[in-house]
Structures are given as C-alpha cells and as structure tokens.
Structure 1
Amino acid sequence: MKDVLMNERHMLSRRKMLGGAGAISAAVAAASVSKVAMAALPEPVIQTKPDTMPPLVPNTGRPYNPVVTLNGWTLPWRMNNGVKEFHLVAEPVVREMSPGFKAHLWGYNGQSPGPTIEVVEGDRVRLFVTNKLGELTSIHWHGQRLPNGMDGVTGLNQPGIPPGKTYVYEFVARRPGTFMYHPHADEMVQMAMGMMGFWITHPKGKHPLIDEVDRDFCFLLNAYDIDPGAATPKIMTMLDFNLWSWNSRIFPGIDPLVVRHMDKVRIRVGNLTMTNHPIHLHGHEFLITGTDGGPTPKSTRQYEVTADIAVGQMRQMDFLADEEGDWAFHCHKSHHTMNAMGHDVPTMIGVDHRGVAKQITKLIPDYMVMGERGMKDMTEMEMPLPDNTAAMMAGTGPFGAVGMGGMFSVVKVRKDQKRGDYSDPGWYQHPPGTVAYEFTGALPDPARFKADVSPGPGSMPSMAKPAQDVEVKVRKPAGGHSGH
C-alpha cells in the first residue's frame, strides 16, 4: 500500500497474508474479481494493539472530520482511479478485553471489532474481503443503500466466501450516517465470536441536519459468555452473557472519552448484543441526532440523559461538553456494569456467616464470605482469580475502588485540554468545597407524624386474611433467568 495510507500515529503492524505475494496472486486469480479493473490487491493493514488510536485524517479523497474509535482504529484505504479501496481480512484474533485478560475471538485485520471504515457521501467504494476462517463467511453492510447483490446475505445475495478466497464488494456510499458491518453467514457463531465493525459515511458538504462537531467518537456494544479461566466464548449462549463490552473491552479496560471544555461532541453507538442497552451520560444532556435510518428531523429531538438502544440499532448522540469533570458514561442495566461471575450465586445479604465461616476456613483456608453486606465489598477483596479472567468489579479512582465493570467508561472534560488532544489528562482536580464530605455534627431527631393527624383511608379490605402475618421470601427459579 502507498506510504500516504500509513499514518505513523497508528503504529500499525503489517504482515504478509496467505503465505506471501504468490499466494495473494493465486487467491485473487481464484476469486470473482475479473469484472473489476485493478492493478493489484490492496495490502491488508493489521492492528493488534487495544489502544484508542488517533483519528485518521484523510490525505486523499474529499476532506472530512474523522471519528475516534474507542479502543480501536480506522482502516486506511488507497485511491485507485477515483475509487476508495479497502481490504478486510476475516480471521481468528486475540483480543485483550482488559489488562491481563485475553479472549480468543474472530474479527477483522487483527482485532474484534474490526477497523472502522470512513468514507464520504458519494464515494465509490471497493472492499476486498479475504476469508482466513475455517468456514464460509460474508459481510452485510448494515443500513447501506446498495445493489442487492452486494448486500452480503449468503445464499440469498451471493455465494459464501470460501476459506482462502477473496471476494469484492463495490457500491456508492449514497447517504451520510452511522452504519455497521457484520457477517450474514453462520451469523450466530461468527457474531458471537466478535465479527463486526463500524462504518461512518460523512456528509459531502454542509448538511441541514448534521452539525459539525469538534470530537466524534464511535463504538459497538457486544457481549460474550466466557467462563472464568477460559478464553473462547460459548457461542450457544442466548441471554446469560457474563461479559458486557464496548468494542470487545470491559471496564477498567475501556479508555476514557477525553474532550475539551465547550467542545461539541458526538458519540455514535451501535448495538450488536442480544438485548437492549440504556446508555446513560452523567453531568450533561444530549440530543439523538441520528439513527441507522439517517439524521433525525430537528423537530423530533429532545434532550435526554439516557438513550435506550435496541438490538441492531445505531444511535448518534450530540452534546455540548460544558461541565468540567470526570463524568460516568455507562449502560444503566446494573448487571451490565460488572464482569464475569456465575448467575447461580445465592443472595446472602443479612446472613451472619461468622460462625460457619470459622468452621469452613479450617477446611478451606482461602474461603471468603461473599455478599453478606452486598457486593461492593468485593471491590476491596484480594481474592484469587483464575489465570485468564477479570475481576467482577474493578478499577481504582481518585477516591478508591470504583466498583464497576463491563459497559462503563468516563467522559473527561477539561478546560486546558488542547484541541485535537486525546491523551488522558489524569483525574479531575475538584475545586475546594465541591466534593461530598462526611457530616460530623449532631444529628437532629427525625420528625414524626403527630397522633392527632388522621390516617389515610387505607387499602381495600381483604376477603381472606391469614391467621398470622407471613414474611414472603423470594427465590429465583432453579436454572437462572435464561427464559426471560
């Protein structure tokens, strides 16, 4: 690939595919590319680092304000007679989900999710897809308007791409917006293994419904079921996932979203999990300015702090970063902000373990009481973990354990952050008197209802009242909650 396609800030590692140039030529000859006039197959660009890479500023083609992929990167392209050419390689990958925890997934160009593809409205795009998996695959360009034979549904629109072969997709990016790509071949397995990626089509000029922003972030919601100590997802899981991730990363492995005070910020989120996710931002209100159907009419927009993103949907959120600080940004489903743990752990809140714990520790020295006062204590415990897993709640903030995992990050807003600087500024330095503190004075007596105040009418009388009060104890049914 031409040197102009390589951005030094990306620190992209390049490697020969399919056993060298001769193998590449053989693969091209065997693939269905005879209708495409081209000099050679574009070199595949590979990235294995889990860091958030700087935006890839275009130096060929029409200019645009590039996105930043959270814990990801943008795929370079080459211009060939006015066509933007990309090369995606479907292959097994190793993804670091958080420091010390790596998963064996499937993805594209060394990572899961694959690299973000950025184009401009009206661009003619040619995408070479090489299959290095052990089974057929394809790519569906989720949300795009394109010829039916390029839509990527195996058996319906095209033959599946056999192992070792390269197929070509070619179409015009007809409308601006936020899109995805993923397989439509053995989809349950391939998407459960992490095969997906982001696609951004920028407007070709000023658009009445798409405002210009200073910072533009994107990431995909995905989920995995990986037993503690294991590395490969269980592909048959439908609902009981134990790792809820953003771009196949879990907190504290998810990078912060760093912005400058008073920046106009856009966050694009796509959901390829098996359930909806109410994505919640602290400290600010945002507008839903776009969906996978395109930009939303301004008359339909209202300020929100939480956006529920259903399965297969995209949401584009715009806000003004006018409040300094370290603001939590997360899914509001509580179980989605924790890491790997079994669902069959009984609720032990209020149970006094002290007597039995002494007896058990004589037999099991490493025994640890779990959940006697709630689960927050788990963040302070130094309990042994399997070799390849992540703590259920992890991450340390300026005031101690954060007590979060999974789909959780921080939007860091700073006045002294330079334009275009995405480096972590560290923890926010709170002005004096602006942090919650312990009250050490005398507590007043609580107010009580006066005896001469008439009570309410009460509930409707019961026809059959038990002889004595019954304390109801609720237990989850055996087998977990996989049926909901």
Structure 2
Amino acid sequence: MTLSRRGFVGASGFVVAAAGLVSGRAQAASIPEAASTKSPATQAPQMPTSGPDYQPVVTLNGWSLPWRMNGNWKEFHLVAEPVIREIAPGMKAHLWGYNGQSPGPTIEAVEGDNVRIFVTNKLPENTAVHWHGQRLPNGMDGVGGLTQPHIPPGKTFVYEFQMRRSGTFMYHPHSDEMVQMAMGMMGFLVVHPRDPAFRRVDRDFVFLLNAFDIEAGSYVPKVNTMLDFNLWTWNSRAFPGIDPFVVARNDKVRIRFGNLTMTNHPIHMHGYEFKVSGTDGGWVDENATWPEVSIDCAVGQMRSFDFVADEPGDWAIHCHKSHHTMNAMGHSVKTYIGVNKKDLAKRIAKIAPGYMPMGSNGMGEMGSMEMQGPSNTLPMMTGYAQFGPVEMGGMFSVVKVREGLAAGDYKDPGWFKNPEGTVAYEYKGQKLAEAPRTAGPDSGLDSVDWQVKDPRKPALPADGTPLPVKPGSHSNH
C-alpha cells in the first residue's frame, strides 16, 4: 500500500476532547499515526496479524485504515480534510474526505473489539462522525449538537465504543451534512464475525455509491443540487476509472455496497444469480437468503450479496438506471433522433467551424468519437474493451473471473480470452428474406413520423429565418 505518514500528534499539537465518556482516557494521551494515500488504485487487503482470523475486505479504488493496539483498544486515526480525487483519467475533483481520499479509508474490526477512533478536523468548518448502523453509547453516535459538541477546525475528538455486532456499515458526517456529504465525506465500516468460519468467503469487496454535480470544466461539486447530478460514481470514481472485481474461478465472493446518493440504485450483475446475504441491519439467515440478479439499494441502506464464481469471463456489473451509466449528463440536451441536421450543420459551421452534427441516429457514436470538450470534463460515454467502445460511464465495472488466480492476486488480468465459437458473430450466409411482421395501427412509421417535435414551436424554413409574428399571438412562441 502506498501510504505516507503524518507522524504522531501529541496533545500539545491538538486539543484532545471526548465525544462522550472516555474510559482509560490516560491511554489516549498520544494519538496514533494518520496514514494517508492519494493513489486511486485498489489497494491489496490488509491481512490480520493478531487476534481472530478473518478474510479482509478489498475496497474498490480504495484501501483499509491501519490501526495499532493500545492495551485492549484497537486505535484508528481519521483526518477530515480537503482532498483531490481523480474521478477517472482526464478529470479530477476538489472534494472533502478523510486521510487524503474520498471516500475515506475502510475501517475494519472484529465483533467484540474495543475501538478508539481519533478524528482530527482539518476542514474550514465544524464536523462530526456518525457510525451508521452500529450499536454504541448515545454520546458516541456522532450527531453534532445532539449527542456531542461539534468538532471545531484544528481539534481532535475521540470516539470509544465496542463493536457489538458484525456486518456491513459506514461512517459519514452529521454536521453540515448536506454540504459535507455532497463534497464526498463518507467511508466504509466492516465488522468481521468473531467466529472466523461464520459466513466466510474467499474474496470480499466493498464500495459506496455516491454522486456529484460538477459543471464542465470546473472542479468543485455544486452542493445544493438535490436531484440533477451529472456524475454517478462508486467510491468517487466513474467508468472507465472504476477498477474491476478480480476473482478466481470457483471462489465464493461477497460484494457489499452502501448508498449515500439522493436516489435508489438497482445494482445488476451479469452472468450470475446471487443470494442477498446481508443489510446494514444484519445478516440474512442462510435459510432466508433469496436469489436475485439485481438488488435495489435505497438511500442510506447497505446491501451485500454472495455468489460462487464458477462462470469465467468479463461480466458487467452496474446500476440499472441507464442515466447512471453515463458521465457529465446534460439535462437540457435536446433529442434529435430522426432529425435531418444537414442544413442546420451548414449554418452552425459558419460560426463554429468543425461542428459535427450528432444524435440523429442515437448517441452510440459518441462512444467511439474523440471530441474536444472543456478541460477536466469526462465524455458522456467512454471506455474501450477488446471488441470496441463500451459506450458506458458512471456506475459501471466488470467482474473478471479467471482460472488459476492465487488467493491474494487482485491484479487486472486483462480481457477474457473467449473459447473458440463462443462469441456472438455477424451472419454472412444467404441473404435473408424480410422478416414477417404482424400488422398493427402503428405499423409503417417512417423516419419523418418519429421525429421528436415540440408542437408549440413551428418549424423554421430552410434558411433558418424566424417566422413573422401573427397579430394577437405571443411573441415568445
């Protein structure tokens, strides 16, 4: 793991206050190092070196926070701070996060662990951290003003509690929550079962669903956006910047994800049916797990599902809301399907040389055309694979299942070599007769009939000159 060290910060450097009643407060006199990384790549899992055995998680395009033992306390150090996050190659965002990244590092512990989490605030405003889904003393719940004082800039607060149940959780601010979460402040919290054999898997992946509204050419999210987001991300990364899930054939795999966007997300995985194994409310009893190929996750929820990777290949995994697999969505872009833009293109080219008319036959052509846009802006559709442009963006990745991978091997194995005769192909036989169709009231439509038109606006003549305003009509029609 590529980590930098911030050194030890003593009580003389920061005021160490308590989020609630702190037992063993003398032990908290020295603060553990705050590890940091700026690499956008998925880091290798941290194998346990002491205590109960467990299968560590792999954070998609992220990492797990190192910890130290201090007596019977497992100590972590989070630093809330401004960060720069590469959303995908060609675009970076100026966000807020933890320990150099957004989302912050995953915190891993074991059921029954006593954890002490130091939170240092390097933001320009107050903050607090809520441990979403955990049972803990009220004063450690992290709601600024309600259960604790807010953490002022430059101060360090301490949270102490026991991990009372295993499962899938997250952390995020409860202080100026709308702004801080819109700026990317969140992280994953995984508590492993005390019994190493309980629901054990071979590979365990985690990621958070988040979203941003960043105007083309800019760097800072618009924090007041409620619904019209233009970048849909996993762990603040958009396709093709999202790393693949690398899996060995016949591994038992768990994928966990949480939703901190402003809408629900139906996550769909190709190639497999899976069993829903957990929520942030707890484990689903093994006799009650149910099969799915898509599982919806509402705002503030977490889901996990398990499957046995017995089908080799490159299998897509994505949100099934089609706009969420696009980048830099423009909500005011008009639909030109079926519109002949030949004359319009000539007129526009006079004032914008090099203009290329697009959209008359759908938007797929955008996936294969390199068009110059504003700097620091992702194309709407992008990414290439072995057969051409993928024409995707946003919440999209690939589960890569391969023969013979070593247990700790998470390196991208490249594209799948399909066995001969197993790839869809073009038919080149005898010319086919026209396929018979059942006649109906909507049969026989031609390209003119299915153009998208606004009936309130009259068509312009070929030269583009405005039509004269009729007496008594509204001039803006």
Question: Any conservation in 1 of the 2:52–2:196 contact (CA below 8 Å)?
Answer: no
* Aligned mate of 1:404, from 371, 384, 392: 392
Q: What is the CA distance between 1:327 and its match in structure 2?
A: 0.4
1:61 is matched with 51
For 1:222-263, what per-residue CA distance to the aligned partner results, in whole angstroms no more than 9, with x for missing partners?
000001100000000000000000000000000000000010
For 1:8-60, what per-residue CA distance to the aligned partner results, in whole angstroms no more than 9, with x for missing partners?
xx12122358xxx5xx4324445349851225111111111111000011213
Q: What are the residue-to-residue correspondences of 1:64-213 with 2, within 5 Å?
A: 64-206=54-196, 210-213=198-201
For 1:271-318, what per-residue CA distance to the aligned partner results, in whole angstroms no more than 9, with x for missing partners?
000000000000001111000000012333221100000000000110
Question: Any conservation in 2 of the 1:258–1:424 contact (CA below 8 Å)?
Answer: yes
For 1:315-373, what per-residue CA distance to the aligned partner results, in whole angstroms no more than 9, with x for missing partners?
01100111110000000000000001311001000001112212321321131213111
1:25 is matched with 11
Compute the TM-score of the two structures, normalised by the length of structure 2. 0.89
* CA shift in 2, pair 1:347/1:79, >3 Å: same
Q: Secondary structure at the match of 2:347?
A: helix
Question: Any conservation in 2 of the 1:228–1:341 contact (CA below 8 Å)?
Answer: no
Q: Secondary structure at the match of 1:355?
A: helix
- AA aligned to 1:446 is A
Compute the TM-score of the two structures, normalised by the length of structure 1. 0.88
* CA shift in 2, pair 1:368/1:187, >3 Å: same
Question: Any conservation in 2 of the 1:27–1:165 contact (CA below 8 Å)?
Answer: no
1:218 is matched with 206
1:327 is matched with 315
Question: Any conservation in 1 of the 2:64–2:106 contact (CA below 8 Å)?
Answer: yes
Question: Any conservation in 1 of the 2:15–2:156 contact (CA below 8 Å)?
Answer: no
CA distance in structure 1 between the partners assigned to 2:455 and 2:274 by the alignment: 37
For 1:421-441, what per-residue CA distance to the aligned partner results, in whole angstroms no more than 9, with x for missing partners?
000111000111111111122
Q: What are the residue-to-residue correspondences of 1:251-266 with 2, within 5 Å?
A: 251-266=239-254
Q: Tell me, which stretches of 5 or more residues in structure 2 are unaligned?
A: 442-448, 457-477
CA distance in structure 1 between the partners assigned to 2:55 and 2:222 by the alignment: 39
For 1:185-242, what per-residue CA distance to the aligned partner results, in whole angstroms no more than 9, with x for missing partners?
00000000000000000000056xx521100000000000001100000000000000
Question: Any conservation in 2 of the 1:280–1:330 contact (CA below 8 Å)?
Answer: yes
- AA aligned to 1:228 is A
Question: Any conservation in 1 of the 2:85–2:102 contact (CA below 8 Å)?
Answer: yes
* CA shift in 2, pair 1:352/1:155, >3 Å: same
Q: Secondary structure at the match of 2:26?
A: coil
Q: Mean Cα displacement is larger for which, 386-395 or 158-167?
A: 386-395
* CA shift in 2, pair 1:437/1:79, >3 Å: same
* CA shift in 2, pair 1:171/1:136, >3 Å: same
CA distance in structure 1 between the partners assigned to 2:209 and 2:273 by the alignment: 21
Question: Any conservation in 1 of the 2:54–2:196 contact (CA below 8 Å)?
Answer: no
* CA shift in 2, pair 1:42/1:399, >3 Å: same
2:233 is matched with 245
Q: Secondary structure at the match of 2:323?
A: helix
1:15 is matched with 6
Q: Secondary structure at the match of 1:31?
A: strand
User: May I ask how many residue pairs the two structures share in their alignment?
Assistant: 444
CA distance in structure 2 between the partners assigned to 1:85 and 1:476 by the alignment: 65
* CA shift in 2, pair 1:217/1:448, >3 Å: closer
- AA aligned to 1:243 is L
CA distance in structure 1 between the partners assigned to 2:370 and 2:420 by the alignment: 33
- AA aligned to 1:37 is A
1:446 is matched with 435
2:471 is matched with none
- AA aligned to 2:12 is A
- AA aligned to 1:75 is L
- AA aligned to 2:5 is R
CA distance in structure 2 between the partners assigned to 1:255 and 1:327 by the alignment: 13
2:467 is matched with none
* CA shift in 2, pair 1:425/1:150, >3 Å: same
* CA shift in 2, pair 1:328/1:220, >3 Å: same
Aligned-residue CA RMSD (Å)? 2.1
For 1:60-116, what per-residue CA distance to the aligned partner results, in whole angstroms no more than 9, with x for missing partners?
332211000000000000000011000000000000110121100000000000000
CA distance in structure 1 between the partners assigned to 2:204 and 2:454 by the alignment: 45
* Aligned mate of 1:354, from 339, 342, 346: 342
CA distance in structure 2 between the partners assigned to 1:238 and 1:61 by the alignment: 44
Percent identity over the alignment?
62
Does the alignment pair 1:313 with 2:301? yes
1:230 is matched with 218
* CA shift in 2, pair 1:146/1:262, >3 Å: same
Question: Any conservation in 2 of the 1:244–1:336 contact (CA below 8 Å)?
Answer: yes
* CA shift in 2, pair 1:238/1:476, >3 Å: farther
Q: Secondary structure at the match of 2:215?
A: coil
* CA shift in 2, pair 1:28/1:263, >3 Å: same
* CA shift in 2, pair 1:199/1:475, >3 Å: farther
1:480 is matched with none
* CA shift in 2, pair 1:288/1:471, >3 Å: closer
2:466 is matched with none
Q: Tell me, which stretches of 5 or more residues in structure 1 are unaligned?
A: 1-9, 459-469, 478-484
CA distance in structure 2 between the partners assigned to 1:239 and 1:474 by the alignment: 26
CA distance in structure 1 between the partners assigned to 2:438 and 2:60 by the alignment: 54
Q: What is the CA distance between 1:379 and its match in structure 2?
A: 1.1
Q: Mean Cα displacement is larger for which, 228-237 or 57-66?
A: 57-66
- AA aligned to 1:88 is L
CA distance in structure 1 between the partners assigned to 2:267 and 2:167 by the alignment: 20
